[in-house]
């Protein structure tokens, strides 16, 4: 089976993520929140680091419920800072708490985070038909700018582009990858 060139074939976690999750359109609110928080923690790190700590993140961050996260106090902050199972960067933890509150405001305004993120493309998947590896786009620039204007942190254009790839708003599988063919020709069910 031919996969995207960036997938380390020897790494089962990465292969499974690529084959079953990366680039599949997400319309589920909970899944959208999870991927958003994980991507903001990934900033500056390798994605495999996040994947290996994913279950720990789910437990530590109350299954990525922004209503709960937005109410974290100093005791919870210190608990997270001392949790070796997650990324313990104080700035990223503070940002997650602040960003959760902003996500709730976006949800109030748009009805859901799913609606907010998909509205930037009129609910259309952006399919890249070349195999150039991109890290930003006009779309990620626009969303990043909007999120920063709302007061979010760790939402630069590179982070947002990676998020858009992960949740299938952008299909960036290489054209020779079996997932590109499946996703482009609708053979994969969306994550609802």
Residue 190 has a pLDDT of: 43
Which listed residue (39, 116, 161, 180) is catalytic? 39
Among this protein's residues, is 17 annotated catalytic? Answer: yes
Q: Note the pLDDT tens digit of each residue in 70-126.
A: 999 999 999 999 999 999 999 999 999 999 999 999 999 999 999 999 999 999 999
In this structure, are residues 28 and 114 in contact, taking their beta carbons and an 8 Å threshold?
Answer: yes
Confidence (pLDDT) at 130? 75
Residues 6+ apart with CB under 8 A from 50: 38, 41, 42, 57, 87
CB atoms within 10 A of CB 153: 17
Q: Catalytic residue, from 21, 27, 47, 182: name it.
A: 47
Sequence-distant (6+) residues with CB within 8 A of 33 are 64, 65, 66, 103, 113
Active-site entry in 14, 17, 118, 180: 17
In the chain, domain spans: 12-184
Q: Is 47 a catalytic residue?
A: yes
* Domain 12-184 grouped into CATH 1.10.340.30: yes
- Cα–Cα distance for residue pair 148/14, rounded to 1 Å: 30
User: To the nearest whole percent, how much of the chain has pLDDT over 70?
Assistant: 95
- Report the DSSP beta bridge partners of residue 170: 126
């Amino acid at each position: 089976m031919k996969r995207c060139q960036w997938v380390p074939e020897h790494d089962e976690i990465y292969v499974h993520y690529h084959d079953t999750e990366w680039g599949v359109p997400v319309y589920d609110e909970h899944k959208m929140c999870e991927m958003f928080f994980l991507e903001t923690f990934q900033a500056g790190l390798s994605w495999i680091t996040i994947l290996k700590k994913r279950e720990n993140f789910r437990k530590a961050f109350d299954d990525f419920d922004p209503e709960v996260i937005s109410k974290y106090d100093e005791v919870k902050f210190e608990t997270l800072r001392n949790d070796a199972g997650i990324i313990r960067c104080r700035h990223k933890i503070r940002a997650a708490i602040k960003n959760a509150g902003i996500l709730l405001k976006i949800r109030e305004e748009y009805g859901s985070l799913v609606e907010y993120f998909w509205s930037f493309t009129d609910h259309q998947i952006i399919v890249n038909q070349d195999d150039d590896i991109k890290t930003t786009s006009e779309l990620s620039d626009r969303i990043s700018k909007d999120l920063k204007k709302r007061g979010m942190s760790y939402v630069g254009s590179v982070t947002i582009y990676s998020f858009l790839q992960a949740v299938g708003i952008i299909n960036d599988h290489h054209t020779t990858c079996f997932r590109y063919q499946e996703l482009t020709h609708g053979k994969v069910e969306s994550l609802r």
